[in-house]
Amino acid sequence: MSEFFNVSLETFPDCAIEVSNGVIVGVNSHTKQEFPSLHPPCPLPSPLSALLESKEPSGTAFLNGHSYTWGKITGHTSLLLLIRPFPLSSLNDEQISGLLHQTRSCMQEILLELQTLTAECDNAPAVVECVEHINKNYCRALRLLSNTQFLQQMGQPSGIIYHPIAMDAVAFCRQFTSETAGLLKLAGYELQFDTTLSSLLMPGDPALLRKLFYTLVSNAVKATPPSVPVQFTLEKQQGRGVFTFLNEIAPSRLACSRKLPLPDDGAGMGLSIAQHIVSLHKGTLLWDTQSEHHYRTVASFPLSPMPKSLTVHTPKLEQDFGFSPALIELSDLLPSFLYHV
C-alpha cells in the first residue's frame, strides 16, 4: 500500500516508485519490468533523484537511452515518482540508422550503374534528358535522407554537431545569394539580397546556417508567383542580426485547401529542422503576414558572445555523391537540365 494514497501502487498505469528519505520503499510491476534494478530498499539512483529534486512537478527525461515523461506527488512521509515511456515508434534509432545506411548504399549502386549505362549509350539526346531527370530525382531523394538523418540526430543525446565561429553575416549572405540566385533564375524565380550594412560579425555555424537559408528560401519561393522576387534582407536591431525573407503569396496558395498537400509541397521536415538550427544559435524564428498577399519569415540571432577559441573541425563525411549542396537542397525547384553530370 502507498503510505499516503492508501491504495496499491499496482493501480497506477505508469511506473510508480515510492521514495522515503532517498530510499525506495515501494514499486509496482510496471517499474519491475522497465527498471529491474529498482527495488526496496535500494537508494534511488542519481538520475531519478534529480527528478525528485527538480522544482518542476513534471517534465521529460532521457534515461537509459530512452525518453520518458515523469511527474511527482508529495505526501506526508514519502514521495511518489510516476514515469511513463514515450510511445515506441515502429522503428528505433538503430533501425533508422540501418535504413539510412542501406538506402545510401543502394543509391550509390544505382548511380554507378546509371553512369555505366550512360557511357554505353554514347550521349544520345533522349538518354541524356532521361539521365538529367533521374539525377534530379536522385538529389531529391538525397535531401529526404539528409533531413531524416538530421531529425534522428536531433533526438539523440549527442545531438547535432554545432561549430560556431566568428563570421561576417553580410559576406555570408552575399555569398549565399550569389550561389543561389543564379540557379533560381534558371528556374524562373528571383532572389534579391539587400542590406545597408557593410559587415556584421556574429557567432554562427556556416554549414547549419546555409541549410537553414536553403529551407527558408525554398519555402518562400514555392509560395511566390513566378517572376516575383523574394526579398532577402539583413539588419542590426538591438544587438541582434535580423534576417528577413519577404515574399508574395501566389493566388493558388491563397485559394487552396490546406487539407491536401500541393504537388510541390515537401515532406514536412523543413520547419522542425529550421527551428532546431535557430535554437542552436540561441535565436528566434518568426512568421507573420505583412498583408493579405505578403508573407514574412524572420530569423533573429544574437551578435554575442563571440567564440574565444578556435574550434576543431572534423572533415564531414561525404554522403552526397559529388552533387553540390545547392542542387540537393533546391532540387524541388530547379530544372532537370542543371543535373547533367
Using one digit for the tens of pLDDT, what is the confidence trace for 247-283?
887 665 544 444 444 445 555 678 888 999 999 999 9
CA 50 – CA 81 distance, rounded (Å): 11
- pLDDT at site 208: 95
CA neighbor of 167 nearest in space, from 207, 194, 198, 200: 200
Contact between 109 and 235 (Cβ < 8 Å): no
Contact between 180 and 216 (Cβ < 8 Å): no
Q: 1: helix, coil or strand? A: coil
Residue-averaged pLDDT of the chain: 81
- pLDDT at site 259: 44
Residues in the chain with pLDDT < 70? 1-7, 65, 87-93, 122-123, 250-268, 290-292, 309-322, 341
To 10 degrees, what angle do helices 93-120 and 125-154 make? Answer: 170
CA neighbor of 40 nearest in space, from 29, 26, 28, 30: 26
* Residue 42 CA from chain centroid, whole number: 40
Contact between 29 and 14 (Cβ < 8 Å): no
Taking phi over 0 as left and psi of -120 to 50 as alpha, with beta for the rest, 65 belongs to left
CA 242 – CA 233 distance, rounded (Å): 8
Helix (H) or strand (E) holding 21, with range, is none
CA dihedral angle for residue 248, residue 251, residue 256, residue 258, rounded to 10 degrees: 0
Q: Show Cβ contacts of residue 244 under 8 Å, excluding neighbours closer than 6 positions.
A: 231, 232, 233, 234, 235, 296, 297, 298, 299
Q: What is the pLDDT of residues 281-311, one digit of tens each?
A: 999 998 877 666 788 899 999 998 888 765 5
- pLDDT at site 257: 42
